[in-house]
Amino acid sequence: MSVRLRYAPSPTGDPHVGNIRTALWAWLHARRHGGDFIVRLEDTDQSRAVDGSLERILASLRWLGVDWDEGPDIGGPHAPYVQSQRLHRYHAAVEELVGGGAAYRCFCTPEELSALRKQQQAEKRPTGYEGTCRALPSAEVTSRIAGGEASVVRFRMPDDGVTAFTDALRGEISVDNSTQEDFVILKSDGFPTYHLAHVVDDHAMEITHITRGEEWIPSAPRHVRLFEALDYDVPELVHTPVILGPDGGKLSKRHGAKSVLEYAEDGYIAAALLNFLINIGWSLDGETEVVPLEKLLEVFDIHDLGVSPAAFDTTKLEWMNGVYLREMPERLLSELFAVRLERDLPGDVARPLDRAFVEELTPLVRERMKLLSELAPMVDFFFATDIATPDSGALLGKRYRKRPDVARGLLAAAADGIEGIEGWAVELIESRLRELAAELEEKPGDLFMLCRLAVTGKPVTPPLFETMEIVGPERCVERLRAAASSLDSVATEA
């Protein structure tokens, strides 16, 4: 039988990295084994639903390059893939369970349940539902429902014995039934709980492996009992370990508990984030950090996951992003750059950008960045018709603070020097500026920094001579002269 795995997010906002990592693992396992990957929206808790979540969940997957065979947007043989549109199926299952005696109506109000809880706590007894409505006569149930009384449906857990199940990563887990309460499967609003809904759907959708976070282990015995009561086979259960923060604590927003789309926004490359996430808690050979997707698709198997929590290392993610930026084919990278620049450059830069020009810039900056968000601030001066000369303090720096006249002279000399260059090209610009530094007995680096600040307006830029070549002779001369004259008054004062 071919494998079928699913990602079953609830629409409670943007998926964060832990949730997406589990989805990525499920997707890879499905793809590696030639099976199907299904997306299903679990929206039965209407009070927690956040508008626009589904779109953002799907956008996150698409951005990462994940594809699915069935889902809310594309349908499929088991449509619909949105739980709130499948209520009649859960109601049918509830009817079957109630009819067979495996589940029953409970009329206890939230107030009664909370009073019970308080009493249990005061008496230092285990808390939980104690079966108040377990044995109501069916005539009473019918008349209370007819009378409009609110009720839920609870699943009857056995009183003694154990419930055992196998977790694919941890082996057999078993719990004493005496610790299990009769849990709610249908709420008073007519919506099923997660417990019932996913059991019905995973069966109907022929899911072979349930992959989900390990926080679900404590409720797995309930699910196993439900599968059995409905006469369904229990799919393989794979509970994935949590991701910890770098300090070993809970993953905080600052340390990576961000949504996938926030990473996109911050300038990470999808392939880098994907590889990074897959490798938290899984490893090819214990040492390889960057595993090409093709390799993952050949070797990844969900049964090889570790069970110990692994830490999220933001420094490593940044490093990895840099590796992907440097290793990406230049054409692809320049397309990525163009998209990012279209978005990030100031509004007064004419769109669409000249793709050939972006291609020309790509090799100059790719080695100098870790994040795509660093791109626009690094190259915006190439696109600006007018750049502001830095103020005299920034222009002079330490080196020329006491000698503004020298700096002014150097800038003017640089303008004159390059103005006459025939066949404007990197090597010629460089040798002319070096000659000038030697003639005027200044350190070449000091002269270059003045030129960089004058031509680009910034202290950190792509390589200077390549930059000047692209900016072109007229604009370079113009900017050097503007910088020189910006020092007029300071130089006279000195």
What x/- string results for residues 226 through 255 when contact with ligand GLU is judged by CB under 6 A? ------------------------------
Per the CB < 8 A criterion, the answer to whether 478 and 485 are in contact is: no
* Shortest CB 233 distance to ligand GLU, Å: 17
Task: Return the number of the residue (214 or 430) whose C-beta is nearest ligand GLU.
Answer: 214
User: Looking at beta carbons only, is 197 or 413 nearer to ligand GLU?
Assistant: 197
Nearest distance from C-beta of residue 311 to ligand GLU, angstroms: 22
The count of residues interacting with ligand GLU (CB under 6 A) is 8
- Mention every residue, 6+ apart, whose C-beta is less than 8 A from residue 474: none
Q: Choose among 467, 476, 463: nearest CA to 387.
A: 476
Phi, psi of 184 (to 5 degrees): -75, 130
Shortest distance (Å) from residue 237 CB to ligand GLU = 10
Tell me which stretch binds ligand GLU (CB under 6 A): 6-14, 126-134, 178-186, 481-489: 6-14
Q: Which residue number, 16 or 370, has a Cβ lying nearer to ligand GLU?
A: 16
Residue 77: C-alpha distances to residues 44, 74, 81, 204, 209 (Å): 21, 10, 10, 10, 18
Q: 238 forms bridges with which residues in the sheet?
A: 211
x/- contact string, 22-61, with ligand GLU (CB under 6 A)? Answer: --------------------x-------------------
The DSSP result for 55-71, as a single string, is HHHHHHHHHHT---SBB
> 163: helix, coil or strand?
strand
Sign of CA dihedral 53, 58, 62, 65: positive
- The minimum distance between CB 10 and ligand GLU, in angstroms, equals 4
Closest CA to 348 of 375, 391, 379, 380: 380
Q: How far is the CB of 58 from ligand GLU (least distance, A)?
A: 15
Nearest-approach distance from CB 210 to ligand GLU, in angstroms = 6
Considering only the stretches 3-11, 95-103, 305-313, 419-427, report the one whose residues sit in contact with ligand GLU under the rule CB under 6 A: 3-11
Considering only CA atoms, which of 162, 155, 163, 215 is closest in space to residue 186? 155
Question: Do 202 and 210 contact (CB within 8 A), yes or no?
Answer: yes
Nearer to ligand GLU, 17 or 410 (CB): 17
| 212 versus 255: smaller Cβ distance to ligand GLU | 212
Nearer to ligand GLU, 194 or 319 (CB): 194
Contact indicator for 155, 97 with CB cutoff of 8 Å:
yes
Residues 177-196 that bind ligand GLU (CB under 6 A): 194
Q: Does 10 bind ligand GLU (CB under 6 A)?
A: yes
Q: Which helix (H) or strand (E) holds 247?
A: none
Given the residues 118, 124, 250, 253, select the one marked as catalytic: 253
Give the residue, chosen from 4, 9, 207, 235, that forms a contact with ligand GLU under the rule CB under 6 A.
Answer: 9
Assess 429 for contact with ligand GLU (CB under 6 A).
no
Instruction: Compare residues 20 and 210 and give the one whose CB is closer to ligand GLU.
Output: 210
Q: Of 216 and 319, which has the nearer Cβ to ligand GLU?
A: 216
Question: Binding segment for ligand GLU among 8-16, 185-193, 234-242, 279-287 (CB under 6 A)?
Answer: 8-16
- Residue 212 contacts ligand GLU per CB under 6 A: yes
DSSP tag of 205? T
Taking CB under 6 A as the binding criterion, the range among 5-13, 62-70, 120-128, 371-379 that sits at the site for ligand GLU is 5-13
Give the C-alpha distances (Å, rounded to integers) separating 243 from 105, 116, 307, 419.
39, 36, 11, 59
To the query of whether residue 443 is one of the catalytic residues in this protein, the response is: no
Question: Residue 223 CB, nearest distance to ligand GLU (Å)?
Answer: 9
Binding range to ligand GLU, per CB under 6 A, among 7-15, 335-343, 436-444, 467-475:
7-15
List 16, 198, 203, 370, residue binding ligand GLU (CB under 6 A)? 198
Task: Say how far apart CA 391 and CA 377 lie, in whole Å.
Answer: 18
172 forms beta bridges with 166
Residues paired with residue 183 on neighbouring β-strands, in sequence order = 155
Alpha helices by DSSP H, listed for 192-299, are 194-204, 220-229, 260-266, 270-278, 293-299
Euclidean distance between CA atoms 239 and 216, whole angstroms: 7
Residue type, 111: E
Binding residue (CB under 6 A) for ligand GLU from 8, 152, 317, 415? 8
Return the active site residues: 253
> Rule CB under 6 A: which residues touch ligand GLU?
8-10, 42, 194, 198, 210, 212
